[in-house]
Amino acid sequence: MIGSLRGTVLERSPDGTALIEAGGVGYIVHVSPRCLAELEPTSPAFLHVHHHIREDQQTLFGFQTRDEKSTFQTLIATHGVGPALAMAILSTHSPSTLVDIVASSDVGALTLVPGVGKKTAERLLIELKNRLSLPVLTTINDGNTGSTVISDVREALIGLGYSDSEVRDALRTLPATDAATMLREALGLLGVRRA
């Protein structure tokens, strides 16, 4: 089993894979778009690796942090979640954001993941509550318990008259930061798309 790779990035592909040479061998590793952007050809790289073995193939999934790798392993151990969906979830939400989403039962934030509808999101929330290490929820300043940044920004944009699909598309492309920054960037993005 391969647990990590340290080597040189030979190339990266638009299909979400990077070719990393370690010890004279080139390994094709599936990574998130965020990770792929940081893997510059000819630069050194270190990835935590999940070696996924099935009867007909072996696939390597690479992660920048141990936390991403363990969250990926938790996701693929969940009923109905394969490696492709797990990578899509981690490409949309960081491990800490995913914990917040599950802790606050934010169905809307999970539907931002490509290929996840409302029913799938509801099922995932139930299953992941037992699998992820969830924090004890505390009351946030506005009085909402377990409110997440993504749900706050989504509600604000819908309140401003943007459609659910416009909001979903905009939030998929933005990294999860603080609410004010996300809202400002989302408004800029939506303004360009409507222009």
Digit-coded pLDDT (tens) for 121-140: 888 888 888 777 654 433 33
Torsion of CA 40, 68, 183, 121, to 10 degrees: 130
Residues of the chain where predicted confidence (pLDDT) is lower than 70: 133-148, 172, 175-177, 192-195
- Whether the Cβ atoms of residue 131 and residue 78 lie closer than 8 Å to each other: yes
**Considering the domain boundaries, does residue 140 fall inside one?**
no
**Considering the domain boundaries, does residue 11 fall inside one?**
yes
Interatomic CA distance for residues 141 and 94, integer angstroms: 23
What is the residue type of 187? Answer: L
Interatomic CA distance for residues 6 and 22, integer angstroms: 6
Interatomic CA distance for residues 173 and 176, integer angstroms: 10
Mean pLDDT score of the chain: 82
**Considering the domain boundaries, does residue 161 fall inside one?**
yes
- Whether the Cβ atoms of residue 49 and residue 4 lie closer than 8 Å to each other: yes
**Number of domains into which the chain is organized:** 3
Give the residue numbers spanning the domain of 33: 4-63
**Considering the domain boundaries, does residue 135 fall inside one?**
no
- Whether the Cβ atoms of residue 22 and residue 7 lie closer than 8 Å to each other: yes
What is the residue type of 169? Answer: D
Do 153 and 189 lie in one domain? The reply is yes
- Whether the Cβ atoms of residue 17 and residue 26 lie closer than 8 Å to each other: no
Do 111 and 92 lie in one domain? The reply is yes
Q: Looking at residue 171, what is its pLDDT?
A: 74
